[in-house]
Amino acid sequence: MHNLRPVGLRIPATASKFPSLRPIDQVQFVGGDMSACRSCGAPLAEATRFCQSCGSSTELRPDVSVSANESPAEVAVISPSGGTGSKAMETNLVGALSYLAGFITGIIFLVLDPYKSNSFVRFHAFQSIFFNVAWIAFWIVWMILSAVLTPLTAGVFGLIALPLMLLFILAGFGLWIFLMYQAYQQKLFRLPIVGKFAAEHAGVRL
């Protein structure tokens, strides 16, 4: 047996007399069906769960993928990138969303990174806040006038106020949708008075 030439195996001279007792980490595998340890590169026997050389587990981890044409020794470990986070929304979408819940969403996008430093988002956020505050103040004044003038006019003002209220509600709703649409189209549409204050606070010149 000592005259046979091994194929694909390099056996140290000290272990040539006892080939069956040689350490497995001293065998360099060149070809065949054996796999290799991912930690130390030592050849692995079939159906083994731990490397005989370093003791590492031979089971695949969840982040390791094996293609159908690759041997286990050629598996690449792909670790998740630490620099990738949730993708930021487009500024036009954020500008439109700043009007969604009035001053609430306006304040949210004024303090939320990275939108708080964007002049386009800041303008629409401030305009949303000022518009919403002005809208609430208008209805407070309107309710006070209705409560005072309706008894004084024997209910006549109440009859006039009802269709006017419906008209104001429709106008306000239409303006709200229009502002969201303008922001989504990446336009800096400025409302009278309110838009001027928004532009000053956002540092935008219109």
Closest CA to 100 of 186, 177, 7, 31: 177
What's phi and psi for 43, nearest 5 deg?
Answer: -60, 145
Residue 145 C-beta-side C-alpha neighbours within 13 Å: 13
Show me where the domains of the chain are located.
1-69, 91-202
Question: How far is the CA of 205 from the CAs of 70, 123, 126, 188, 198, in angstroms?
Answer: 61, 10, 14, 10, 10
Give the lowest-confidence range in 22-36, 99-113, 136-150, 167-181.
22-36
pLDDT, tens digit, for every residue of 127-183?
Answer: 999 999 999 999 999 999 999 998 888 888 888 888 999 999 999 999 999 999 999
Does the pTM surpass 0.75? The reply is no
* Residues 136, 28: Cα–Cα separation, whole Å: 81
**pLDDT score recorded for residue 85:** 39
Output 43 or 16, whichever has higher pLDDT: 43
